[in-house]
Structure 1
Amino acid sequence: MKKIYTIVTALLLYTLSSAEDTTLKLTYENFNFENSIKKNKGKRYGLILSHKDDNALYQLAYDKTNTETFKPPLTNDLHVNKYYLKYSLKLDDKQLVSVSYATIDDNLMKETDGGHIYGLGYQYGATSVTQY
């Protein structure tokens, strides 16, 4: 599955690299869990690719988090990969609809590992609602 995401990301980067309305954002976070019993510190790396075309906005994001944990109570460090896709369509000057998809791959939390999250949103002016 990771190979598919890597290939899709590489193809999108190649295709959109010559486009005018394309933004690539790289992020890095270093965080500390001061009051946690299970987590010590961690690092997060992210990539957000956005492309705007007339009335449409395409977004692709990848987020990798590595968190050092106290052993025990946990047996391993926590490694999480998040993949996110979003498509937004501007209907007119005030209305926008969006659909989104996210998946989570982690090594410790069975509740979220391999989870699929779907979203549908609507915006009118400054008011928006999204259902996941």
Structure 2
Amino acid sequence: MVTYLVIIASISTWQSNIFNYQLLVQVLFLFVVLIYGYKSIVKQGKIPQSVIIFSQDGKWLETVSGEQVSWQVSPQSRATRLVLFINIVSPLTPQKSQWRLIYKDQVNEQYFRRLCRVIIFQQQNATRII
């Protein structure tokens, strides 16, 4: 939403009378940005929230709309102070993987730290195997 506000502010602060029909072009751009922004905000509100259960050893169970999908946190996952880059791999087909970004303010401190421990545990297990 902030991005759309910045774009709208940018379009509305154009210097006047730079080219012919500038006011018409500005109004048209503003209209397009407003419609696109509205559609993306409405679309984002319709995305079902998933429930995720994970264990210290990296098992990741995700429930979306009553369906359960099992994943395994891979050693390629990384943790920073503000963002967790979690790579999850399907235990049935290891070629199938997904990346999840989890920002520190998305979850409470306890869950963020727990996810960090899971990532560190997976990395340590990978180095022991090698």
* TM bin (shorter chain): under 0.3
- Higher fraction of helix: 2
With the length of structure 2 as denominator, give the TM-score of the two structures.
0.24
Larger Rg: 2
